[in-house]
A = this chain, B = another copy of it.
Amino acid sequence: MAWSRLGLIAGGGDLPRTLARASRGEGRLGHVVALEGFADPADFPGASVRGIGQIGHMISDLRGAGCDSVCFAGLVRRPDFRTLKPDWEGMKLLPRALAAAARGDDALLQVIVSAFERAGFAVIGAHEVSGRLLAPAGPLGALAPDDAAIRGDIAKAMEIAAQIGALDIGQGAVVCDGLVLAVEAQEGTDAMLARVAALPESVRGTPAARRGVLAKRPKPQQDVRIDLPTIGVSTVEGAARAGLAGIAVPAGGALVVDAGAVREAADATGLFVVGLAPDALDGDGS
């Protein structure tokens, strides 16, 4: 998708800051909308602050700054529709949004994406803003998953992640020695890993004897321009505390925020972080 001037709709976490820096560095950042309650406006000088229902204002902000494209990035939770304060444009979307919300998160996101497309913006993914964000194929750090049990856990965790993704539950799962320890829904990956760390040591690994795997992958039906699974330093640290042996994502199908720091954290804690090529992804499933 050709684009030259980006509007960034920023939610929580590190990803929006990374994208703002990358696109500003290339002279392609037009405007940032900091979503109220999710992004810290102090991180984005010149940003407008908008509530999640102020779709009309967001579109005006981006038009006013001459943007031809929009990227949605960072953590956003589904709003409480009863306390949402939509503007006129948001109000017009509300019936469709409510109907979509009952079908799931993906459907709801699609309603919002479509509104920006109808307003003439190219909707682009974070990986199109900065190609260096995509997980490469192969191990990111010094360690690789070469143990048969670990490969089995990777295959099973990837399979479970695909299944719960198809159900629109979430994108991540933790498997240890064939047992599904945890599945991610609305709590997020960090909370899921903290819960694995709280399980008895009989069912999980420890920093001294690592076992088990976190897998994250896109939902089969999702729009890959929005909400690609993301890992960062906090993911590696959480996985380390949970006693896991490593983290697996599809090569080209997940974002790695600050890959250099992720590599260092993985090597320092003795974890692997691996991007699986498509042929390795659904190969030896259990």
List of B residues within 8 angstroms of A167 by Cβ: 160, 163-164, 180
**A 69-106 to B, binary, CB cutoff 8 A, 1 in contact else 0:** 00000000111100100000000000000000111110
* Residue in B closest to A160 when the chains form the complex, CB atoms: B167
Q: Does A181 have its Cβ within 8 Å of any Cβ on chain B?
A: yes
Question: How far is it, in angstroms, between the C-alpha of A63 and the C-alpha of B199 when the chains are bound?
Answer: 35
Tell whether, in the assembled complex, residue A77 and residue B202 are in contact, meaning their CB atoms are under 8 Å apart. yes
Interface size on A, residues (CB 8 A): 37
Q: Does A60 have its Cβ within 8 Å of any Cβ on chain B?
A: no
Instruction: List 28 A-B residue pairs with CB atoms under 8 Å apart, sorted by A's residue number.
Output: A77-B200, A77-B202, A78-B203, A79-B202, A80-B202, A80-B203, A101-B178, A101-B179, A102-B152, A102-B177, A102-B178, A103-B178, A104-B180, A160-B167, A164-B169, A164-B183, A168-B180, A169-B180, A169-B183, A170-B180, A179-B186, A181-B185, A182-B186, A183-B183, A187-B195, A187-B199, A191-B195, A195-B195
Interface residues in chain A, defined as those with a beta carbon under 8 Å from any beta carbon in chain B: 77-80, 83, 101-105, 152, 160, 163-164, 167-170, 177-183, 185-187, 191, 195, 198-203, 286
